[in-house]
A and B are shown apart, each in its own frame.
Chain A
Amino acid sequence: MIKLKLKVNGNIHELEIEPHAILADVLKKELGLIGVRVSCGEGECGACTILMDGKPVLACMMLAMQAEGKELLTIEGLGTYENLHPIQEAFVEEHGFQCGFCTPGIILSTKKLLETKPDSTPSEIAMSLSGHICRCGAYPKIIKSVQKAAKKLEDNHGKK
């Protein structure tokens, strides 16, 4: 076992893990963050996407040890059930999912996209979400949701 200090959703956790422990497993099993979804476990599907220092990465494709000292954000740190993040609101309003399994990862990738390029075109949105597979095939509504989220964030920004 090996010591690991992990900063997730603003909280610092001091853990003891196996040196080979995979980040997704530590987030789910040690910290109970079940919004980190593991589907393929080999970097194809994007379900386990989290933000590391603001950038989307696959939690199933790295050692937990590699994440030490980084700022991690999972869907649990983005919004709460009572107080959804504008991107989450947009996905609910536009029905940007069916089963919802891939949704946490897609929403986190969307956060990064809209910070980088809020006026993304549908094809830019599709390219930036190319690392996510939605087996329900909700893609057209996902793209609409991202566009609506961009509008919501812009409106919020205007209010400040």
Chain B
Amino acid sequence: MNNTTFKYLRPISPVKACELKDKYGESSRFWAGGTDLLLQWKEDVVCLDYCIDLSFIPDLDYIRKDSDAVSIGALTRVASIETSSELNHSLSIIREAAGELATPQIRNTATIGGNICRAAPSADMAPPLLVLDAEMKFVSASGERWVAMDAFFLDLNQTALEENELLAEIKVPIPPVETASCFLKIGRTVIDIAIVNMAARMTMDDRGILTDVRIAFGAVAPTPLRIKAAEEILLGTDVSTIDDTLVGKVSNKVGDEIKPITDVRGTAEYRREISRVLTKRAIENIIQTLQGRLNS
């Protein structure tokens, strides 16, 4: 591969963008913020003959809240998410993850859709969206469909998006009031790609029984993923009875389920150990919040 140049296309609506994708297929790529794609193109990691620049589509840059969900346009800048007052309570982990993604300058350019669609194992926006049961809206020239975030990542750098589809919106349901959540990231520096990132979210009923448990990790497998076997251990338990033994059991399960690799940022062993520690921290943080609510 040897990239020299490409044709530049500038659609002004999602449908127009999809029509161009239909026309040029695999020789074209959607270009959102471009902070990652530009590097990949310069380094000949990706090849494209046609750059479909999405920067001039105004319709996909929004954060809207209604009674049961917050909807985020796929072209919303990470910096806009970081400062959005709509993302509060248990949705604030989306804001926290945005605030820890790369540098302020990158956050002013990069989009949430780009971070997700790139499908890097370490994508900071992925764990919060996984634990909050986000729904992804795909559009194409012929229509639209919805895909659960849990079914979005297929493999390293591969998503459920078909060649002719564009991610248009991420819809995050607002969880019940008795919910607490947590986002944690370990990086070499505040601006670096995650060595491990994770999010957890738990919902309890009025007696303190956990009715919903989500634990998701990034940078420890080919894709960001939920650790369902660990979630199941906690599901149905009473928040007032969760002790160190149970927390230890959950964190060991996380350690067993993940498949970390060794790279420049950390060894597989280190990632496994950190994942156990983060699981403990997240559960303790969430349980403390939920217990406080139960007692108030």
Chain A residues with a Cβ under 8 A of chain B: 2, 18-20, 22, 42-43, 46, 49, 52, 55-58, 61-63, 65-66, 69, 109, 127-128, 130-131
Least CB separation from B54: chain A residue: A66
By CB atoms of chain A within 10 A, which of B5, B7, B39, B109 has the most?
B109
User: B39 touching A42 by the CB < 8 A rule?
Assistant: yes
Min CB gap B284→A, angstroms: 25
Min CB gap B42→A, angstroms: 8
Residue among A19, A20, A56, A127 making CB contact with B108, cutoff 8 Å: A56
User: B190 touching A127 by the CB < 8 A rule?
Assistant: yes
Contacts of A131 in B (CB 8 A): 102-106, 191
Least CB separation from A2: chain B residue: B8
B151: interface (CB < 8 Å): no
B253: interface (CB < 8 Å): no
Please classify how large the interface on chain B is, using the bins under 10, 10 to 19, 20 to 34, 35 or more: 20 to 34
User: B104 touching A62 by the CB < 8 A rule?
Assistant: no
User: A43 touching B35 by the CB < 8 A rule?
Assistant: yes
User: A19 touching B105 by the CB < 8 A rule?
Assistant: no
Residue among A46, A49, A55, A65 making CB contact with B53, cutoff 8 Å: A65
Asked if A61 meets B10 with Cβ closer than 8 Å, knowing A19-B5, A20-B5, A55-B79, the reply is: no
User: B10 touching A65 by the CB < 8 A rule?
Assistant: yes
Question: How far is it, in angstroms, between the C-alpha of A65 and the C-alpha of B34 when the chains are bound?
Answer: 12
Min CB gap A40→B, angstroms: 11
B129: interface (CB < 8 Å): no
